[in-house]
């Protein structure tokens, strides 16, 4: 079976409103995060992938299956939507159990898988209470539990960290990382860029229905050539190091760290930059303690490529 999720030239229009336009993507196993402002097309992309909406043009394949083949697709796929819906009057346990029955499990299997899912999301005794009395975080947990309960190979999570307190957020991220490490596909949309850095193997940036960039965060950052990369160098003589580095013409900005024991340098050619830095370190004039990229995170990429107003730059 093909282990990729593939979008080929996919467009979706809701009447005259653009959902996504000419998206081509190939997503391997691991954690992929969809990043973009509100209305950028993240949910449309997820709905297309899960067959809940049909593309206006193009083709989609989820591990070799067409999303229009929903009975087969939803055996291998779990979807946690952003909508806060639960059938009225049910407990968390009943909701997950009934969801498994809808997946076609027998009573015995559904019982066992419900226990397992509740343990995984650490819902605990609250599973026996009515969902109507749950906090927002617990409602997120029970939605997540129903999405993973049937052991899908692909998990699609629309804003799964919304409404979670820091502890629950950390637990969810740990669960995502564990599932990703085990070889599951996780496609997550999120606005919380700090957490995108922590959990993602890859990011997909989208705005206004157009794909802006995709790949690992470091790869994407290196491709943004018009924005010189910023590197933080911890050393004993930051001023000397800055003057040395300015001798090369691709170093465009230097800023001392607030504690005086480091310098932020911007460079248009990162390979040349590291080569020069090795030379300076070998000379022994400056004792270099640490070197780290300062703007190859999701937040910086988002700012460079999409901008704070949500329009692509």
Partner 1 sequence: MSVYKHNYRAYSGKITPAWTRVLVLAKYGFAEAWSSKITVGLFTLCLLPPIVFLFGIYLANNPLARALIGARGSQGQMIDAKYFLVILQIQSWLALAVASWIAPRLITFDLADNALPILLSHPISRFSYVFGKFIALFASLSAVTWVPCLLLFTYQSYSSPVPWAAANGQIAGGLLAGALIWIALLSILGLALSSWVKWRVVATGAIFGAVLVPASVGAIVTGVLRTKWGFLLNIPFMMSLLWQRLLGAPERGMERFSLPTGAIAAMLALACIICVAMLTAHIRAREVVHG
Q: Which residues contact partner 1 by CB under 8 A? A: 14, 17, 19, 29-30, 43, 47, 50, 52-53, 70-79, 81, 83-85, 87-89, 98-99, 101-106, 109, 113, 143, 146-147, 150-153, 179-184, 201, 216
Q: Name the residue nearer to partner 1 (CB basis): 204 or 235.
A: 204
Closest CA relative to residue 32, chosen from 59, 2, 68, 5: 5
Q: Name the residue nearer to partner 1 (CB basis): 100 or 242.
A: 100
Nearest approach, Cβ of residue 102 and partner 1 (Å): 4
| Sheet hosting strand 288-293, strand order edge to edge | 251-256, 262-267, 229-235, 288-293
Q: Name the residue nearer to partner 1 (CB basis): 68 or 275.
A: 68
Nearest approach, Cβ of residue 164 and partner 1 (Å): 18
The DSSP letter of residue 213 is: E
Q: Name the residue nearer to partner 1 (CB basis): 36 or 228.
A: 36
Nearest approach, Cβ of residue 58 and partner 1 (Å): 17
- Both tokens of residue 109? 């299997």
Say if residues 50 and 18 touch (Cβ distance below 8 Å). Answer: no
Cα–chain center distance at 284: 42
Q: Name the residue nearer to partner 1 (CB basis): 95 or 273.
A: 95
Q: Name the residue nearer to partner 1 (CB basis): 89 or 166.
A: 89
Nearest approach, Cβ of residue 246 and partner 1 (Å): 35
Q: Name the residue nearer to partner 1 (CB basis): 158 or 295.
A: 158
Residue 4 CB partners (closer than 8 Å, separation 6+): 26, 27, 28, 61, 63
Give the DSSP H/E element, type plus range, for residue 137. helix 136-148
Q: Name the residue nearer to partner 1 (CB basis): 18 or 281.
A: 18
Nearest approach, Cβ of residue 166 and partner 1 (Å): 25
CA–CA distance, 206 with 305 (Å, rounded to integer): 10
CA–CA distance, 143 with 157 (Å, rounded to integer): 10
The β-bridge partners of 156 are 79, 187
Nearest approach, Cβ of residue 43 and partner 1 (Å): 6
Nearest approach, Cβ of residue 146 and partner 1 (Å): 8
Nearest approach, Cβ of residue 127 and partner 1 (Å): 18
Say if residues 92 and 134 touch (Cβ distance below 8 Å). Answer: yes
Residue 295 CB partners (closer than 8 Å, separation 6+): 221, 227, 229, 230
Number of H helices, E strands in the chain: 11, 13
CA–CA distance, 79 with 76 (Å, rounded to integer): 10
């Amino acid at each position: 079976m093909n282990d990729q999720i593939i979008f080929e030239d996919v467009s979706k229009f809701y009447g005259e409103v653009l959902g996504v336009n000419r998206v081509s993507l190939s997503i391997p196993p691991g954690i992929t995060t969809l990043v973009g402002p509100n209305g950028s097309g993240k949910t449309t992309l997820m709905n297309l992938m899960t067959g809940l909406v049909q593309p206006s043009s193009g083709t989609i394949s989820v591990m070799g299956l067409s999303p229009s083949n929903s009975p087969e697709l939803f055996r291998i796929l779990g979807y946690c939507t952003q909508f806060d819906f639960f059938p009225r009057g049910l407990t968390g346990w009943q909701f997950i159990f009934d969801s498994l029955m809808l997946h076609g499990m027998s009573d015995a299997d559904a019982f066992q898988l419900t226990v397992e899912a509740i343990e995984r999301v650490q819902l605990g005794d609250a599973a026996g209470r009515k969902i109507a009395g749950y906090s927002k975080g617990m409602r997120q947990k029970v939605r997540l539990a129903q999405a993973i309960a049937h052991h899908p190979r692909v998990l699609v999570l629309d804003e799964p960290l919304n409404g979670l307190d820091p502890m629950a957020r950390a637990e969810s991220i740990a669960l995502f990382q564990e599932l990703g490490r085990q070889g599951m596909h996780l496609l997550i949309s999120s606005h919380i860029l700090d957490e995108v850095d922590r959990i993602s193997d890859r990011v997909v940036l989208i705005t206004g229905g157009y794909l802006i960039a995709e790949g690992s965060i470091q790869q994407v950052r290196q491709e943004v050539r018009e924005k010189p990369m910023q590197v933080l160098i911890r050393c004993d003589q930051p001023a000397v190091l800055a003057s040395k580095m300015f001798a090369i013409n691709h170093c465009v900005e230097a800023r001392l760290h607030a504690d005086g024991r480091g310098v932020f340098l911007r460079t248009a050619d990162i390979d040349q930059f590291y080569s020069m830095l090795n030379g300076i370190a070998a000379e022994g004039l400056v004792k270099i303690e640490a070197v780290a990229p300062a703007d190859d995170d999701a937040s910086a990429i988002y700012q460079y490529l999409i901008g704070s107003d949500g329009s692509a730059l």
